[in-house]
Structure 1
């Protein structure tokens, strides 16, 4: 008696499991009931676990009776005579699906059927087929067969009549339908971060996204407009989650990542590289939607500029998103999204924990344009064998510069393994160098921790014409010449503002030599003028005038021969000084009459003084040349 009760309970549980209302571990799943119009057609979808055995095993469709289940059609080629020309079976082993289609429905086709795999009639589920004479087929529960850790997209459309009504998804239990998510932002705690509700453009239409699905998520759901049991409409959704034994650990989604303040994390997302995937993006989950942060077209949310980047790797069907300079508000759920197949959507939770970043350096640097610079990034011993890199951030990528690589802008990446410092060296920074720079590590092709630093260029100038002449300013300070004197030199032609740097340096050297010589020459000229003045006091006006004429002519000829015109500034100074001395000698009072013997003696002294003057002039001219 006990054995009979046990068998009855087992059969009851199996029957209840097959209706989709309760969790079932059956590797097969299909609709609980299908309905077709009389003389019309019906299609039944049978999902199975796509193992190697199941993909190649026999699939069948049989009708139950009180004694047995008579085969209608099988994938081995069998077809019942009663269903010739009316029944077909098609297997899709790559998708874990086979379909049964029946044409020309009759009243006698009504009944209970089995959709199964194998030859021993042990792996199956039951389907009830109903044939209706009405003109409209009642809507059936939509079936979803999803592997564990996978995702599903559900579209619910209730038309314009429910355009403004409340939209929701709930899960059926024995007596009620518990809300999973609704348009007001109410989310069941067990689905937090794993479910989204997005409105479509058409009124009354919306999408439900579910990801990181678990075995316990299997069951019967309703998507609806209005309020369950009170008003509006609903649609049945039968979701079955199966375990994928062949799922490798390397392809499993990351359910959780941890990061520290000011540190970084990376999220690896998967997609089918052979599929028609054009859009890939990462979004941050919120109760009323999912905010897109970055996509593969280079669109980046403004508040994440400089601290998020996407690396796409089509060869293995992954894209990695790195988030930098973590803040407390970054904690939450992040979704990997594509516009390809539905099961390539996943979610990752980010938690901010206590700790310090492993990569350390300045987070912001202000520097004057034209200055040399070295950006440094220190790393711990555990990253000693990792690949280290520097890169300049862009919204589309942050391509690493290899160690010791010299690029076109003169940037050099250097790694000092003794001090564990990775540096990025600039010969001189330019306005175009302003922006974000990332220091990071890689291991076996995977991106690891990163550190971001912002470089701000101050005092930027557009070209060399606007650059300050620092060397000229230093020389002016040494000579005691301020900027106003320098401007007056340019105005008078002493300094040429358009001369080349080499010509400018040569002029300064020549000027530093000629100025002392000019001072010495002025001193000698003053002494000579005093001597002349004493002599001219005792000479008559005619003798002095004729003698002055002889002296001034000879003086200028000698000055011309010894290159006095080599410097225009020095030539003007000499001419002015000599002119002042002569004018002073002519306009003085008339000398008194003297005996002839005195005149002869004065003339001889004057000739001796003049000879001495010429000798000194020749010596000075030779030295200056």
Structure 2
């Protein structure tokens, strides 16, 4: 590995009175930055002897702080090793003429002016600018690997960084080591290989993985100032590499043994996982009759008797679907992968039971309406609940992640849950199955229970009015900052040739905010794309990189005819966490984004449930009890004070603001412990949701 201590200076140099050096560093929310504070003596024209005498003072008390008390920032007298204080780290090397500042997991609250310097002789002004950029910045992912394996991962970057030098940092060493794309010869002997697409990502390959490679890696971009000697580093992605040692007993043989419960006349979906280095190897199924069936095709479903199989090379898994189960199907199975001169497999014991209360149903609904499907599951099973739809091969596929906001799960009785599907369209017609998921390290199974036949009418019930209706039966759509949302607008077939549009707020008024329409040039706003499917009578609008200001009520319209509205609620990426002792108190500062709104604070697991059923403290009526809300209008924040904390106060809360049915939330995690702590501990994080499907990509439901 070619590595070197990071050497760079700062962007945007300027001289002000007293020859004080100042500079600006720019990062993005969720990302990280690293820059240097260059030493500057009071008198740089002193003799070498004088400088040597002064050096002892210059190397004392290095700091990077927002205020004099350094409540935000870091300070230390430690040298030649990294000193960490929360999200801030500092490295001071007495042999260099600078010290390095490293800030991880940036938030918009970090934006502002700072001072870096030495307590004795010098200081510089630093402006830290934290921007909201594309979803490629500020991401954190987990990458697993086995010893001896070679892995490759991608680091996506914004198109504005195409010409910049790309770098990889390892933060599990002291000091931080760097390898950049210009250093790598990309020969077969290199352990780390970086290759840049010069489009939207660069690749990192790590060869011959060892235990020493375990740790956190940062993908970075070197950003230049007015000259190439003035640079700082913006980090765009974190890779948490987990290195495992494969059990020697599994090198050739059984990975694990799992029992799978299924039911007569129903189906079961099984996903077998293997070590990543074998994901391109040929897979097989061995039935309880000892017949070994090879999966010849890849990324497509193949049928053998009643067993469907799909070798999904993108996920490195083998997917098996067995339908119309009978008592004769009970027994032992193996799903495996062929390796050199041998194979790996998971032993599956399939148990088939007779259950009479998994009833089937037939449902009908109008386009744009909602429909409820009732599902049974064994009460003793605490599993993940699913709803899936059959494809043309009668394999029950998962509902894609972009559709999940239309599917709401709720427990309706003991052993029964209900799935509500909102805003149905013609493509939703078909056969659905309820399913319960169980997981093992090397196997995931979904056992299907109730069957539902859903039929739809294309005679959409439209509201003929010059104004939008006041109410809607659609549940609200809750999305996090930076996510995407899809708004579907069904319409009557008589309007297929008319212009459709999506508007926000007060439609067909002077305050009408038109989002997009079917006959526009959609390249004007890259965040929004539309599709008008005249065969399905469906107008679809996709919005990406959601921000706080996107919260609100949206209406689908054709001329002066409106369909049901979609209420979009935005949850900010930042999560505020407080850890406090029983009997103590806590002050939670909530930022709000718009004036003329009602602010409130409530407790519930989900924000849309919180505003409906949660107990809350509002700006209109602060409760004179343990909970009290005060507003700081000039600062754009409101503060919730909770006193005499109890163990039952632990849980998830929401800072919220509302204006004309438009809601913006910030998640708050409060942990009340019985341990004695000296003060309230606050932590801010960001959340990235990862959806893990288990159905073959070829049959993913098109949106």
TM-score (normalizing by structure 2): 0.28
Give 1 or 2: higher helix fraction. Answer: 1
